[in-house]
Amino acid sequence: MRIELTVNGERREADDVWEGESLLYALRERLGLPGSKNACEQGECGSCTVYMDGVPVCSCLVAAGQAQGREVTTVEGLAGDDGLDPVQQAFVECGAVQCGFCTPGFLVSTHDLLARNPSPSDPEIREALAGNLCRCTGYEKILDAVRAAASAGAQS
């Protein structure tokens, strides 16, 4: 089947989508957007997190057909014409990226958290990111990055 959706502000089409194909697969393999990662394909790790109609979802658990007519924003869509999103910048500056497999999901989840709550407490950060797993960093640098991004937002 063919699906039509808006991805990162552009109308896109994908052909030959099979029944049961995930949105994650369609984004990566049909639409040329490999930012969202496939680490578990079971909704456990959060590495595939994207916005769908403004709500973060695990794209490995969303059927591509369900995205018909919807608006999807991937990690590639967070950066603006001026460069990296402040959340992306903070992750780079704080050394919160090691292998990077979890990073796209953390970026989308953090972006969502700070949109809802610009000055989260540490427990609020931990709760908001509980669905995102990282095997490399021990999470401290990720927490530093979220705090830094919040602080940068407060100063802008």
Window contacting ligand FES (CB under 6 A); options: 13-21, 45-53, 68-76, 111-119: 45-53
- Measured N-to-C along each axis, helices 103-116 and 86-93 cross at an angle, to the nearest 10 degrees, of 130
Window contacting ligand FES (CB under 6 A); options: 3-11, 72-80, 87-95, 97-105: 97-105
**Alpha-carbon torsion (90, 149, 151, 123), positive or negative:** negative
Q: Which is nearer to ligand FES, 39 or 84 (CB)?
A: 39
31: left (phi over 0), alpha (psi -120 to 50) or beta: alpha
100 binds ligand FES (CB under 6 A): yes
- Would you tell me how many other CB atoms lie within 10 Å of the CB of residue 128? 19
Q: Which is nearer to ligand FES, 118 or 142 (CB)?
A: 142
In the window 102-141, what residues touch ligand FES (CB under 6 A)? 102, 134-137
Q: Which is nearer to ligand FES, 10 or 63 (CB)?
A: 63
